[in-house]
Amino acid sequence: MRSISRSIQPVYAPFLHPKHTTKIQLSNSTPRPAWTRAFHASASLRVIDLAYSLHDNQGRAKGDPIVIIHGLFGSKKNNRSVSNALARALDRPVYAVDTRNHGDSSHHKVHNYIAIADDVEAFLKKHNLKNATLIGHSMGAKTVMTMALRNPDCCANIIPVDNAPVDAALSSDFPIYAEGMQKAERAKPKSQKEADELLQPYAKDLPVRQFLLTNLVRPAPSEPLKFRIPVKILTDALDNMADFPFTDPEQARFNKRALFVRGTKSHYVSDEVLPIIGRFFPRFELVDIEAGHWVISEKPEEFIKAVVEFLQEKDE
């Protein structure tokens, strides 16, 4: 595992936009309006009361809270063992949440980073979680970055895992997974084995299929299995998940500590985007873990070690 300090210098040249082949302007020549609280409080968005699991080492973890947010098609269950380990190691309670349209949380047709960030910020306020560390993987990573940039006071620091603050196309696997889940649901499978066979052409790797199938439930004893997540809503939201709400580091910046964790076998945080990370998050640090996009599940011990070391460092 290789750690790079925040000494990486930002650059001011335009970036080639990975998704739309346009450019992200990093200079002051075309200023954009800052994210305002009025925009955040848009009446068009309904806040979802998020389901969660609390991991507090049987009530012994009394420090500042940690909130951990899963990725697309995931849930709070994905982070159970890591949450327990962090609660023990850091003596801090860990809240693993289900975002809207995931896990046990409610469904809503709006699924973008504005809405997800609204939900999580409302969760922090409802549970009086102050001075929190926000950890997020993939979709969760962009969520915590969005929260930190638009309202730096909402947290003490952030740990985005394998995603960057840019518009960038999702891995081509995600639309294929979504297509497979829709096909499997239409076939009305009677068993996990049948559903697994239906998914196999769309997800070759067994661990990925097992991950997707954690969303499969049986509504009633005599009914076929179906996905508890609204697959159609999430399929329609894939472009939103590729986007990022902020484009101008001159208008939004998070000056607190941030640890970016990336998988060395993943393309989501390339060396080319490191300078723009530095513009949005001047105090960022980077840890590389030899893994693909699913860093936390592939290398949990290395991930836990990186998080513990970062959070145990004195905030200067």
User: Reading across the β-sheet that carries 284-289, which strands appear in turn?
Assistant: 2-4, 284-289, 258-263, 157-161, 133-137, 66-69, 94-97, 52-55
What is the amino acid identity at position 31? P
Catalytic residue among 75, 105, 293, 297, which?
293
Confidence of residue 306 (pLDDT cuts 50, 70, 90): very high
Q: Rounded to two decimals, what is the model's pTM?
A: 0.85
Catalytic residue among 75, 138, 266, 297, which?
138
**Catalytic status, residue 267:** no
What digits encode the pLDDT tens for the residues 49-79? 999 999 999 999 999 999 999 999 999 999 9
**Residues pairing with 258 in the sheet:** 158, 284
What digits encode the pLDDT tens for the residues 151-194? 999 999 999 999 999 998 776 788 999 999 999 999 999 999 99
96 backbone dihedrals φ, ψ, rounded to 5°: -95, 120
**Catalytic status, residue 138:** yes
Distances (CA, A) of 212 to 187, 200, 302, 308: 16, 11, 24, 29
What digits encode the pLDDT tens for the residues 268-284? 999 999 999 999 999 99
How high is the pLDDT of residue 40?
41
For the chain, domains (ranges, CATH) are 2-167+244-311 (3.40.50.1820), 182-236 (no CATH)
- How many Å apart are CA 76 and CA 99, to the nearest integer? 9
